[in-house]
Amino acid sequence: MTNPTSDALIQMINVDKFFGEFQALTNINLEVKRGEKIVICGPSGSGKSTLIRCINRLEEHSAGRIIIDGKELTDQVKDIDAVRREVGMVFQSFNLFPHMTIVKNLMLAQQLVRKIPKAEAHKTAMHFLERVKIPEQANKYPVQLSGGQQQRVAIARALCMKPEIILFDEPTSALDPEMINEVLEVMTDLAKEGMTMICVTHEMGFARSVADRVIFMDAGEIVEEAEPEIFFNSPKSARTKAFLSQILTH
């Protein structure tokens, strides 16, 4: 079977995901074009994390096809490594390497995966630390940084790999309110520069200003998919309305 012709960077076709008996994703169809920004929202347990984790194969999908930049995710290890190099990921809990300084956090994968020489990796690391506005923290350990700073480091770490796309899994929901904006600012800058992004978040202000499309998920399904204007002003599904009214009154 040949890949369906498409200019999409990411294609998910009829994707199902089971955890044992439990179906976490049902018939997911999603296309993301180069440069597009997608925001995914939905209640807790609706399968948002599972969906984006299938894209870089932290979870294996059970049925359907996932094609990243023309490469299909199969059991072949080589493909997966190639795909992971193109796909950056930022986690809710930062997941910095606790035993390495900030700059080493940014250098490790460059050196090991991209085989970049140490000096150049260091230069790249410092470049992106400046982009996220914390070059002065380079030689500290993650615990010495605030949550907002750690998350910016995590974004810089993903950027160092020069990915085609970055996946964000609730990047601000573990942060104290006063730190949310510094992270969202960095993400907005990235979006302006044309980075392809899929972002699970409940920051509706961010969704309105940055997203090309907003996707609402519930019970493992994509319920609604629309431009932010339409999504927020005239949602079609009753489930979306109910969810939005809950989120927006908060």
Partner 1 sequence: MSFDLSLITESIPKMLAGIGITFQLMFLSAVLGLILAVILLLMRISGKWYLSWPAQVHIYIFRGTPILVQIFIIYYGLPQFEFIRDSVFWPILREPFGCAVLALTLNTGAYVSEILRGGVLGVDRGVLEAGSALGLSARQKFIYLTTPIATRLALPAYSNDFISLMKATSLASTITLLDMTGIARTIVAQTFAPYEVFISLAIIYMILTWIIQKSFGRIEKYLSRYVNP
Ligand X SMILES: Nc1ncnc2c1ncn2[C@@H]1O[C@H](COP(=O)(O)OP(=O)(O)O)[C@@H](O)[C@H]1O
Q: Where are the alpha helices (DSSP H) in the chain?
A: 48-55, 77-86, 102-112, 118-131, 147-160, 177-192, 204-210, 228-233, 238-249
State yes or no: residue 24 binds ligand X (CB under 6 A). Answer: yes
**Phi, psi (rounded to 5 degrees) for 177:** -50, -40
Decide: is 73 part of the binding site for partner 1 (CB under 8 A): no
82 φ, ψ (degrees, to nearest 5): -60, -40
Residue 25: DSSP 8-state: E
Q: Which C-beta is closer to Mg ion: that of 49 or that of 240?
A: 49
DSSP 157-201: HHHHT--SEEEEESTTTTS-HHHHHHHHHHHHHHHHTT-EEEEE-
| Of 3, 4, 19, 173, the one binding ligand X by CB under 6 A | 19
154-183 binders of partner 1 (CB under 8 A): 154, 157-158, 161
Site for Mg ion in 231-250 (CB under 5 A): none
Q: Which of 15, 28, 37, 47 binds ligand X (CB under 6 A)?
A: 47
Judge whether 165 and 134 are in contact, CB under 8 Å: no
Q: For Mg ion, which is the closer residue by CB, 110 or 203? A: 203
Element spanning 226, H or E: strand 221-226
CA distance 109 to 55: 19
Q: Verify binding: residue 201, Mg ion, rule CB under 5 A.
A: no
Q: Of 51 and 109, which CB lies nearer to ligand X in the complex structure? A: 51
CA dihedral 49, 53, 58, 64 (to 10 degrees): 120
CB under 6 A: which stretch of 38-46, 61-69, 127-135, 186-194 binds ligand X?
A: 38-46
Among 144, 173, 237, 245, binds partner 1 (CB under 8 A): 144
Q: How many CB atoms lie within 10 A of CB 242?
A: 13
Query: CB under 5 to 8 A by kind: which of partner 1, Mg ion, ligand X, none does 46 bind?
Result: ligand X
Residues 9-68 touching Mg ion, rule: CB under 5 A, are 49
- Closest contact distance (angstroms) between CB of 201 and partner 1 is 18
Residues at the contact surface with ligand X, assessed by CB under 6 A: 19, 22, 24, 42, 44-50
Residues at the contact surface with partner 1, assessed by CB under 8 A: 56, 58, 81, 84-85, 87-89, 91, 93, 95-100, 108-109, 112-113, 140-144, 154, 157-158, 161
